[in-house]
Structure 1
Amino acid sequence: MTEIVLFHSVLGLRPGVLQTAEQWRAAGHVVHVPDLYGGAVFDGYDEAFEFLEKCGGQDELLRRTDAAVDGVRPDVVYAGYSNGVISVVHLVTSRPGARGALAFHGSVPVRVVGAELWPSAVPVQVHEAELDPFREDDANREFAETAAASGAEYHYFGYPGVAAHLFADPSLTGEFDAEAAGLMHGRALEFIAACEDRGR
């Protein structure tokens, strides 16, 4: 059993994130799914980013992130969908003890959260559609270089031919890719199991 904290994307706590949590619980894990938006959920990216800015932007997002893990043990796996990866990187670099990190739909440099280093003991997987419209190759490269420089175990998985961003969310009918989502979830479960073994 691994304890996991899963953060939603900029669109809020959509059904796809909750389904991921249920899959992991069915596999025997404990999963926390914070709602950093207080119930707000969006179908479009423009309105979601506008909402986030009105809430206070990244500073407020990170404040809510810290509050969400208050009382949660430190030796967990952090996972995030898209914008939720910012919360993952923040916690891994500021809260010692993480067992692993899962970055779904892209990654961000550690400097984005005011950090300089990635902990060498924290393995990380990054998953991203090959043709993701939000793909930022420079950001991915910078994060990969930082993780590699620390000596951490790092794996990047691209999904060829997939042109959507949140391709693993079945509630987004225009983006969902069942084959890629299944592959991503299978890899994530293997990673979580390896983190469980590492913690024994």
Structure 2
Amino acid sequence: MVLRTPSVRNPSYGGAMTDILLIHHIQGLTPGVLALADAFRAAGHTVHTPDLFEGRTFGSIDEGAGYARSVGFDEVRARGVASADGLPDDLVVAGISLGAMAAQQLVATRPGVRGALLYEAFAGPENFGGWPDGVALQVHGMADDEFFGLEGDREAAEAFAAGRPEAEVFVYAGDAHLFVDSSLPAYDADATRLVLDRSLAFLDRL
């Protein structure tokens, strides 16, 4: 199911309204993911927040991973890809951690995607069939996050972005994973404020 909420233009940002598909992380569609979506809505964008876990949220990464494993990680990613059905062609896809994989799959397979906002995860585009020319990218993650900075995602993102003016990688001090989720202990308010400011600037450039 995709949730659609009317948007209100925030005059502090001048870009055109964008449809964003925001795909949640391994702990589910938490209040913190919804709060992030609301921050984009407050800036005038329309945000769609699919629930890939059918109403379930989990108290830890391990619990969420156990559920995703029982369903099948490929199935979870397929649900994320399918959640774009019926949305406008010129979509911006966004994903947090696990959700970034479905977002990257959509970039590779859905014509018309304008850009991707990938939070706390990145995989080489060759894993999904490539990256179309002209699709803008922004990646955010923490330097010492075991799932981003220390697992190869940062290096893959920086290698991909090198020489591509439409691609940006922002690395933040710290070791937290899921730091953009205000409902989790890992939340970092200062870093998330920077993430949001940079993401909104990205959207205004599209």
Structure 1 residues 38 and 88, CA gap change in structure 2 (3 angstroms): same
Query: Which residue pairs with 1:30 in the alignment?
Result: 46
Residue by residue over 1:91-140, the C-alpha shift from the partner in whole angstroms, topping out at 9 and shown as x without a partner, is 00000111110011121122333x1x211211101000111121245343
| Counterpart contact for 1:118–1:147, Cα < 8 Å | no
**2-side partners of 1:111 and 1:76: how far apart?**
21
**1-side partners of 2:204 and 2:184: how far apart?**
28
Task: Give the alignment of 1:159-170 within 5 angstroms.
Answer: 159-160=172-173, 162-170=174-182
Runs of at least 5 residues in structure 1 that lack an aligned partner in the other structure: 196-200
Q: Say whether residues 1:43 and 2:59 are aligned partners.
A: yes
Structure 1 residues 11 and 48, CA gap change in structure 2 (3 angstroms): same
Residue by residue over 1:153-185, the C-alpha shift from the partner in whole angstroms, topping out at 9 and shown as x without a partner, is 11110002x221111111112x11111111111
Deviation at 1:152, TM superposition (A): 6.1
Task: Give the alignment of 1:131-146 within 5 angstroms.
Answer: 131-135=144-148, 136=150, 138-146=152-160
In the alignment of these two chains, the number of paired residues is 189
| Counterpart contact for 1:128–1:157, Cα < 8 Å | yes
Q: Say whether residues 1:19 and 2:35 are aligned partners.
A: yes
Match of 1:172 among 184, 193, 197: 184
**1-side partners of 2:187 and 2:157: how far apart?**
26
**TM-score normalized by the length of structure 2:** 0.85
**1-side partners of 2:97 and 2:78: how far apart?**
18
Match of 2:127 among 106, 112, 123: 112
Deviation at 1:142, TM superposition (A): 3.2
**2-side partners of 1:152 and 1:35: how far apart?**
33
Structure 1 residues 112 and 11, CA gap change in structure 2 (3 angstroms): farther
Q: RMSD of the alignment, in Å?
A: 1.6
User: What SS does structure 2 have at the residue aligned with 1:171?
Assistant: coil
Deviation at 1:147, TM superposition (A): 5.2
User: What SS does structure 2 have at the residue aligned with 1:155?
Assistant: strand
Match of 2:203 among 173, 181, 192: 192
Residue by residue over 1:23-56, the C-alpha shift from the partner in whole angstroms, topping out at 9 and shown as x without a partner, is 1111111110111110110111111111001112
**TM-score normalized by the length of structure 1:** 0.88
Deviation at 1:3, TM superposition (A): 0.7
Query: Which residue pairs with 1:198 in the alignment?
Result: none
User: What SS does structure 1 have at the residue aligned with 2:76?
Assistant: helix
| Counterpart contact for 2:138–2:169, Cα < 8 Å | yes
* Aligned residues with identical type, % of pairs: 40
Query: Which residue pairs with 2:10 in the alignment?
Result: none
Deviation at 1:141, TM superposition (A): 2.9
Residue by residue over 1:66-86, the C-alpha shift from the partner in whole angstroms, topping out at 9 and shown as x without a partner, is 321111112111001111100
User: What SS does structure 1 have at the residue aligned with 2:87?
Assistant: coil
Query: Which residue pairs with 1:82 in the alignment?
Result: 97
Higher helix share: 1
Match of 1:71 among 72, 83, 86: 86
**1-side partners of 2:83 and 2:205: how far apart?**
25
